[in-house]
Amino acid sequence: MDKLLELLNELYPDVDFATYDARTDGPLIQSLEMVELITEIEQRFDIEFPPSVMGDPEHFYSAAAIWALIERLEDE
Amino acid sequence: MKKITALVLAAALLGITLAACGDTTTTNNDDNDVTRTTQVAPTPAPTGEANHTFMFNNVEITMGALPDPVLAALGPALDEMREPNCAIEGEDVTLRFPGMILNLTYPADGTAPFIVSVSLIDDSVGTPEGLYIGAPAADIARLYGQYDREVNGFYYFNQGRSTLEIAVRDGVVVQIIYQYLFLD
Amino acid sequence: MKRILSILLAFVFFCTAFWAVQRLLMPKYMSNPFEGALTAEYYRSNFAHDLIIIGSCEVYSNISPVVLWEEYGIPAFIRGNPQQLMWHSRAMLEDTLRHETPRAVLLSIQALMYPTPPHDGEPYNRMVFDGMRLSLPMLRNVRESMTPEESMLSYVFPLLRFHSRWQELNHEDLQFFWRRDPVSINGFVMRADVLPSGWIPPPAMLPDYSFGQQAIDALYDMLAITQEHGIELILFKAPSLLPHWHNEWDAWVVDFAEQHGLPYFNAITSTDTIDHQYHTFNGGLNLNLAGAERLTRYLAPWLMDNAPSLTDRRGEPALDAHWQQLATQYRAWQAAQEAEIAETGRVYHSILLRNALS
Amino acid sequence: MTFISPWFLGGLCVLFVLYYTLPKRAQWPLLLLASLGFYALAGWAALAAMLVTVAASYGIAMHMSKLKIAQKAHVAQHRDSMTRDERKAYNAAQKRRQRGWLIAGLLFNFSLLAAVKIGEALARIDIIPSMIFFVGISYYMFRICGYLIDVFWGKIEVQRNPLKLALFTIFFPYAMIGPISRYHNVADALLNEKRIDWALFGRGLQRMIWGFFKVMVVGFRLLLSINHLRATPGEYSGMFAFFTMLVWGAYLYADFSGAIDISIGIAMCFGIRVEENFISPFRARDIFDYWRRWHITMGTWFRDYVFYPLSVAKFMQKWPTRVKIHIATAVTWFTTGIWHGVAWNFIVWGLSNGVVIMISQELKPLYERFNKRFSFTKTKVYTCFAIVRTFLLLTLIRAFDIYFDVPLTFRHFASFITNPQFGAFFRYFGEHEVWFGLAPLEWLVAALGIAVMIAVPWFRKEEKRRPPAIFWAALVLVIFIFGMYGLGFDMQDFFYMQF
């Protein structure tokens, strides 16, 4: 989980991801940064995202949500 | 993998054949005979070439052309008849010149007027190809070749959106009329 | 509940507005060209006619109903339209029979020469059917007369056809929103002026003198209808110089008449009393007033001989009163036209009956 | 446009009655029957090609899901005996097999579409002016390919009933025009059994009337002028060309969004909500905003099925992110252009959109710093400037669809500067009775129509501020009177009589 937080801080230095939640604080990750975020995660965690995930934001509204998605993909 | 590509190609071929058999519209030219006041020959599909042109002491009269320049070149007519038919359509004008009758139409909807027909009255005038009233029927084939249509001794030579009608009775040419087919 | 009310209100508003706008945008045919109003004139009559005359301008300018009544006692009505084709005539006959059953029908057969409309048929279809009251026979006839690009709906709801006339609305559309003025006297259109016929071009020979099938079918339909209703069918050809009536055509009609025992009056051959120097207003196409009255005085006795059902009904008070009124309008129209001819040399203002009567 | 015919509307009323009176389980088969009948109007070849596509896609989708289930079962069964790497290798191999089938399906569908399109082009030499027809037959291709890819990604459950899949593909309201719906958005609404919801039915009718108004009163009227302006493109350059582009923009919006309104309206009447395709696009602030407002479902389709997969694809990973995004954008917009038609003007249209987007992406950081530093960018004036800038930019890009001739379009762009003909343009209106094929009164009606069309995105409003029923009755009347339809099109030759 901390590896993920470290990555998120790299991309968004001025956002505190521990408490950040897109549903309340407003959308942050634009569709283009989404590409960058996903490729980084795929490299670091050695997993593969199905592109369908990109379209719908409910996986990326908070750090916890992203981590849950990563764990699910890892044990596939 | 080969199995899949074979399957795909076969299916694609099937699809293409289906697509190719799309409904092709059949052209049906109903051969309705129309009486003299309009035009006689059935409406041929307008071929690309220009319409028939008749030479009257070196004035070019092309079927469907604008009348004014032709009338200016021809000078005054011997006789004239303006026939507003009993309805709302425009005006049909018929002019007589020595050996020729010229028919024009001024449409009611204000679109451009045009030459409707040229009829030869006697042998004092002949067609550019050399046919005249009273010439033997054999001259038609010699001068014009194969006709497009024949009905009861009336031979039709279509050209562009016009037709040349030559009537034969007892082996002699009795009527020569150029017509513009404005109705198709 | 409020919702349903507002929907109902909207529906009622739509229907009335649609009807009103349709009435406004419909051409009124009250001046130019007034012949479009001829079909509707019939519904203004007393539906008490022994003779119904059906045809194109070969009848509505050439036969005078007032002379037929005043000198021969035949109450007649002319149901004509410009360029009225044979299937239009059938529509007229069927429409007439919904209102009365005449003793005889005088049918102009000149339109047999047109297998299809000689030029753009749509305006003529509109003129024939726009004034006609909606009925099943009318719709059947519309379907048979329609040109390919027309739609049946545009006859049931004329707004679909005339909706783009919103740009051409004039005072007349408002003036005649409700009422319509008469444009004829029992279908007769009077033209008192003279335009002698000049040179007539020699007719060209035709490759084929047979009539179109649709026209022939319409003639046979009318024959059947008149036989079924016990009406005497009389064929008629006007003495017009144009368009040329070929002898081969006439032979076919004579043969048809003999075959079915119908009287056939061809004014071209039967009468030499028509002189196209004095009796035509458009160079030999139609007769003027003088020509029409002369032809009527020649035609009527022949009718009395050949159509026994036609009798002299002068003396019946109801008819006398009705025709008295028509005769006065007829004379007023004639006087107005003759005054205008004396003044300007031609008939323009007084061609409209309402101008003559006002 | 087959929507504009008494037969269609009559058939629709019958269908509504049947849909809500027949037993519920007959509802979706009824829609399928109607859709097949409607589709046959586009010609038997198109119907045959479509049915073959649906059948093939159904087979492939079923096969892919069978493989996926087998893969999951296998993994679950050997959970403990396989190491993570073995499992990853196995999954990858299975994935490759399924992808092979997916590609086979897509290839087959597109080759069939190409065949129909080529056959169509050969049979019809003259180019159809309305762009809608041009793309008509291939809308179902989006839907069926989107479905296939979604199944491959495991985003949706495969549809076991081929007939239901066919209904999703060619549901008649959106068969010809769009919007390009996604399977998971509409499948349930399409297939579940419904009682009539009068409020929704009413709003559906209103939406249809609104669509007919846009198409018949504004769209067709402007089309007359467009055809006139397009007939002699060389003659109308400079300001005239710019005027043509403006009229073209208004025509396209009226014609296209109107048709979409009709199809959405019909779907609503059947109780089926379909995605929006236009949200007042002339209020877009930048090109991204524009493509989230104009033909939305096409934009999202290409984004989800071309742009994203491409940008995260393995072979793309060797480039830096910025380059990846540019390549993906270029490819996406190239395919968008090609899909409109295999013609230069569409390709150039697609690529110019791509180029502008790439430039904007590149300048994005610059914009953000600029907006932070200058506060006036938040003001109303700046947003108006942004709207006008975007409008003009898109008007120019859209010009490639007008003339079907790229060099000519560029010559017109050049003529804006070389000889704008300002004087001639404004003098034109004084000198001519008929302006570009339309009488001045017609232009007035068109202008009023455009104003109403753009100023009143009423259906965005909440429930209570809806216009009353009488407004819709009046609008139907306006359509009857000012709509361009029937024989009355060329009225002027109707009644002239000379005395």
For the domain that residue A67 is a member of, what is the CATH number?
1.10.1200
Per the structure, how many domains does chain B have? 1
Which of these, D59, D39, D311, D250, lies nearest to D162 by C-alpha position? D59
What chain C holds in terms of domains, given with CATH numbers, is 37-199+212-357 (3.40.50.1110)
Where residue B97 sits, what CATH number does that domain have?
3.40.33.10
B to D contact (≥3 Cβ pairs closer than 8 Å):
yes
Provide the residue range defining the domain that includes B126. Answer: 52-180
In a mutational test of the B interface, the residue from C83, C116, C128, C205 whose CB has the highest number of chain B CBs within 10 Å is C205
Between C211 and B1, the higher pLDDT residue: C211
Residue B114 pairs with which residues in a beta bridge? Answer: B105
d(C-alpha A53, C-alpha A74), whole Å: 15
- The answer to whether residues C109 and C253 touch, using CB atoms and an 8 Å cutoff, is yes
The alpha carbon of residue D117 is apart from the nearest alpha carbon of chain B, in Å, by 9
Asked if residue D179 has a cis previous peptide bond (ω within 30° of 0), the answer is yes
- Average of pLDDT values for C101-112? 95
Contact present, B74 and B59 (Cβ < 8 Å): yes
AA identity, residue D487 = L
ipTM rounded to 2 decimals: 0.76
Query: Which residues of chain D does B111 touch, with a Cβ-Cβ cutoff of 8 Å?
Result: 493
Instruction: Name the residue of chain D whose CA is nearest to A32's CA.
Output: D325
Among residues of chain C, what percentage have pLDDT more than 70? 100
Residue B8 domain-assigned? Answer: no
Q: Does D155 touch chain A (CB under 8 A)?
A: yes
| Strand order through the sheet with B91-97 | B79-83, B91-97, B100-106, B114-120, B172-180, B162-169, B154-159, B149-151
Residue B21 belongs to some domain of the structure: no
Q: Which residue did the predictor score with more confidence, C70 or D41?
A: C70
Nearest CA to C105 out of C83, C90, C115 is that of C90
Say if residues D219 and D255 touch (Cβ distance below 8 Å): yes
Q: Give a yes or no: residue B39 inside a domain.
A: no
The pLDDT assigned to C150 comes to 84
What's residue D467's pLDDT? 77
- On whether the CB atoms of residues D334 and D351 are closer than 8 A, the answer is yes
Q: Nearest residue of A to residue D313 by CA position?
A: A51
Three-class SS of residue D211?
Answer: helix
Domain boundaries defined on chain D: 31-193, 203-484
CA B96 to chain CA centroid, Å, is: 21
* CA distance to partner chain D, nearest, from residue B71 (Å): 22
pLDDT of residue B9: 43
| Number of compact structural domains in chain A | 1
Chosen for mutation from C29, C81, C119, C211 (greatest number of chain B CBs closer than 10 Å) is C119
The percent of residues above 90 in pLDDT, for chain C, comes to 66
| Mutation for D interface: B1, B2, B4, most D CBs within 10 A | B4
The residue type found at C228 is E
User: What residues contact B3, with CB distance under 8 A and at least 6 apart?
Assistant: none
Å from D178 to nearest chain B CA?
A: 22
pLDDT at D269: 92
User: How far, in Å, CA of B51 to CA of B53, rounded?
Assistant: 6
Using CB atoms, pick whichever of A32, A42, A76 lies closest to residue D91.
Answer: A76
Q: Is B49 a residue whose pLDDT tops 90?
A: no
**pLDDT values of chain D reduced to their tens digit, one per residue, 499 residues:** 467 778 888 889 999 999 998 888 888 899 999 999 888 876 777 788 888 889 999 999 999 888 888 888 888 888 777 777 787 788 888 888 888 898 998 888 888 877 776 666 665 544 443 333 333 447 888 888 889 988 888 888 888 889 999 999 888 888 877 788 888 888 888 888 888 888 889 889 999 999 999 988 998 899 888 888 888 877 788 888 889 899 999 998 998 888 899 999 999 999 888 888 888 888 888 888 888 888 888 888 888 888 888 877 777 777 887 788 888 889 999 988 887 777 788 888 989 999 998 888 888 778 778 877 877 767 788 888 888 999 999 988 888 888 778 888 888 888 888 888 888 888 888 888 888 888 889 999 999 998 888 776 655 555 556 778 888 899 999 999 998 887 644 322 222 212 2
pLDDT exceeds cutoff 50 at B46: no
Burial class (CB in 10 A: 0-12, 13-18, 19+), D10: exposed
User: For the ranges C194-208, C321-335, D245-259, D456-470, which has the lowest average pLDDT?
Assistant: D456-470
**Strand-pair category, C76-80 with C51-55:** parallel
**Taking 90 as the threshold, does the pLDDT of residue C228 lie above it?**
yes
In a domain, B47, yes or no: no
CB proximity C156 to D under 8 Å:
no
Size of interface A-D (CB pairs under 8 A): 41
* Per-residue model confidence (pLDDT) at position C60: 93
Predicted confidence at residue C232, as pLDDT, reads 95
Mean pLDDT of B73-98: 80
Q: What's the confidence (pLDDT) of residue D345?
A: 83
Whether the full predicted model's pTM is greater than 0.90, yes or no, is no
Q: What angle do CA B124, B126, B129 make, to 5 degrees?
A: 160
Residue B21: its pLDDT value, please? 30
The stretch A24-52 carries a mean pLDDT of: 70
Mean pLDDT of C4-26: 92
| C vs D: CB pairs below 8 A | 78
pLDDT of C277 higher than 80: yes
Report residue D421 CA to chain centroid gap. Answer: 35
Domain that holds residue A42: 2-74
Q: Does D303 touch chain A (CB under 8 A)?
A: yes
State residue D375 phi and psi, 5-degree precision.
-75, -20
D486 with C17: Cβ contact below 8 A = no
| pLDDT score for D134 | 38
Q: D80 burial class (0-12, 13-18, 19+ CB within 10 angstroms)?
A: exposed
Comparison of pLDDT for B109 and B19, the residue scoring more = B109
Q: Identify which of D439, D477, D499 has the shortest CB distance to residue C18.
A: D477
Q: What is the mean pLDDT of residues C258-287?
A: 88
Tell me the C-alpha distance between C187 and C54, whole Å: 10
Please say if the pLDDT value at position C26 is more than 60: yes
